[in-house]
Structure 1
Amino acid sequence: MRLSISIGLATGLGLSLASALTTVALADDFPSKNVQYVIPFGPGGESDISARLQQKYFEEITGEQLIVQYMPGGGGAVGWSQLSDMPADGHTIMGSNLPHIILKPMGQDVGFKTEELNNFFYFHYSPDAILVRNDSPHETLDDLIQAAEEAPGAVTFSGSGTYSANDVANTRFQQLADVTTTYIPFKGTGAAVTALLGGQVQAEWGYTTVAANHQDKVRMLAVASEERHPMFPDVPTFQELGYDMVGGAYRGMAVPEGTPEDVQQQLSDIFQQINQNPQFREEMQDLGFVLMDVPLEEVDAFMAERMDVYEASARELGLIE
């Protein structure tokens, strides 16, 4: 009896050890194939631009490719509502944007809930900004406000979707400036920029990244950062002009529910390593991005903080009482 117990125990320990070693080996082999990076917007926006820059460094680190795909619709909701049905092995990731993933599910059914998205890393944000074409008669923010005062609703803005950072910024600005404008949501920043450049709208709620990418075509009137952006030292902040506006769009990544924790950690580590690469940082900063590092272990606290902020925005937008 003692012998059989000892043999059984030894066998059990051997299997457990073998299982543990196999798990470690699998973890060390990740990724074992190309990773599909789904952008829940159309091409040309900030999510797409940053993903394209990450591709080179991802391949240098892992030896595998980062394949960018698009799933636009519903201001990101189409993609996020399908994330849970995608393979949960770490080889499929999706862009995760704030405030979108918090505001959209509030008070309505958009096919997903905030807590269903497994965010593993947030890596940059873009400060909100008001942009006009270079040939616009609106030279300053005061010019734009005056036009809105003289003809309520006549000043049109493009923006990247409903309940996005742009939508939040527009609602906040209307309240602070006591004006009425017309906000037209588009499927991502790329489409919103096209609308501005094509003359479909008079202005855009965009970001510093848009101004950096189209310096010869657009003019930035004000930026929602605490300090002037180093690329645009002549552009005042909203706070300087008397409007208490600081904010923008935060971008990160999520995986389907059920993706192993160790795989999520490795993905977080990989993208944090990319984020700390000096060349990548320079490329991102030259495009107007503001880099940040929120790794897996800090994501929950970061999301809780943003939730508090966006609940106040949701009340302003009428999503909740």
Structure 2
Amino acid sequence: MIRVLVCIAMAMLAAATPAAAQQNFPSKPVRIIVPYGPGGSADQVVRLYAEKLTPALGQQVIIENKPGASGGVGAQMVASAPPDGHTLLLAPTAILAITPAVRKTQYDPADLASVARLSTPLLVVTITNELGATTWAEFVALAKANPGKYWFGSSGLGTITHLTGEVLTRAAGIKMQHAPYKTIVDAVGDVMSGRIHMVFDPSFLPQAKAGKVRAVLVADRERMTEIPDTPTADEVGLDLKGFRERSWFGVFGPKGMPPQVVARLSGELGRIAEMPDLQHKLLLVAQRAQHQPHDAFARQVTDDMAYFKALLQELNVKLD
């Protein structure tokens, strides 16, 4: 009888241990892997959230940059991590909804679970000063007169900045060549020197404000206060057909995370997204806070997978 009671007690203890661990989450520092180099949009967004998330969780939130393979190195690290919520991924649209649709990746998107959407990048079309063009219309006229002569840069094959270039140039009726970089930060010097001519990443906003490059177009509902003289896509008659809303930054973790842990993380990130000072800081780097909880975000990701698969086929974009 005593042996039976001991066995029952041990079984109850074993069953209770995961629940206790979930209630004590986080029990150690939380790592958020950024699958790109420091200084880019992904890095800027997650550091703003991490600053608020550390006191909210009561544990240090550590940001680790792990660039490589268009985000594949960092994504695989998280996909293979223990599903306890202590290792997370800051990912843009491309890692989950674009790249896996057209080529084999180091990671399986099914091994990553949605936690929360954080923000929507504001598409800022930036051109080099070396061209002498000062407006979107002037640049389009140059590009139409010289088809294939000019280059746009991106943060890599199959990234959202790559597809932005494809969608935007086709919508404008111009032909440009694509220059993929390991990270968009690597393109800064080339844009300022005129080696490449256009980029679409919001991380170039500081250079545009400083006059080192020229912002000629913003794809948002209204003009940005940081660059008030820059018109919106609607104002210049450019129809991007809802493409902007498909661009996001979100947090993911390994599949199999306890629901209570996912709910805790999603809830804290949602509360942070409502903070006015965070919203202001995000706008300074051309990001709009846009929270989606884990369940709604999971549906968004699934829908975007289908959208980008069809778009890539329509545009005949090759990533290899």
TM-score (norm 1): 0.87
Tell me the equivalent position of 2:29.
34
Tell me the equivalent position of 1:247.
243
Tell me the equivalent position of 2:201.
206
Q: 1:287 to 1:178 in 2, by over 3 A?
A: closer
Moved more, 259-268 or 102-111: 259-268
Q: 1:198 to 1:258 in 2, by over 3 A?
A: farther
Determine if contact 1:132/1:221 at 8 Å carries over to the other structure: yes
Equivalence map 1:22-101=2 (5 Å): 22-101=17-96
Q: Aligned partner of 1:199: which letter?
A: G
Structure number, greater radius of gyration: 1
Moved more, 124-133 or 230-239: 230-239
| Aligned-pair identity (%) | 24
Question: 1: distance between equivalents of 2:317 and 2:131?
Answer: 34
Q: 1:144 to 1:118 in 2, by over 3 A?
A: same
- Counterpart selection for 1:149 from 144, 152, 159: 144
Determine if contact 1:168/1:317 at 8 Å carries over to the other structure: no
Aligned-CA RMSD value: 2.6
Determine if contact 2:31/2:63 at 8 Å carries over to the other structure: yes
Tell me the equivalent position of 2:124.
129
Determine if contact 1:149/1:179 at 8 Å carries over to the other structure: yes
Determine if contact 1:97/1:251 at 8 Å carries over to the other structure: yes
Determine if contact 2:153/2:162 at 8 Å carries over to the other structure: no
Cα distance, 1:156 vs structure 2: 1.4
Q: Aligned partner of 2:209: which letter?
A: Q
Cα distance, 1:303 vs structure 2: 1.6
Q: Aligned partner of 1:90: which letter?
A: G
Cα distance, 1:198 vs structure 2: 4.2
Cα distance, 1:89 vs structure 2: 1.9
Q: Aligned partner of 2:144: which letter?
A: E
> Number of matched residues?
313
Q: Does 1:174 align with 2:169?
A: yes
Q: Aligned partner of 2:70: which letter?
A: G
Tell me the equivalent position of 1:108.
103
Give ranges in structure 2 of 5+ residues lacking alignment: none
Q: CA deviation digits over 1:211-262, x for unaligned, max 9?
A: 2564102321112224333433322222322221143431011112333232
Q: CA deviation digits over 1:93-137, x for unaligned, max 9?
A: 111210342111113212233333212111101122210245641
Q: 1:115 to 1:21 in 2, by over 3 A?
A: closer
TM-score (norm 2): 0.87
Q: Aligned partner of 2:279: which letter?
A: R
Q: Does 1:257 align with 2:255?
A: yes
Give ranges in structure 1 of 5+ residues lacking alignment: none
Q: CA deviation digits over 1:172-214, x for unaligned, max 9?
A: 123222221112111233223343234331221222x532564
Determine if contact 1:100/1:165 at 8 Å carries over to the other structure: no
Secondary structure at the aligned position of 2:101 is classed as coil
Secondary structure at the aligned position of 1:105 is classed as helix
Q: 1:213 to 1:147 in 2, by over 3 A?
A: closer
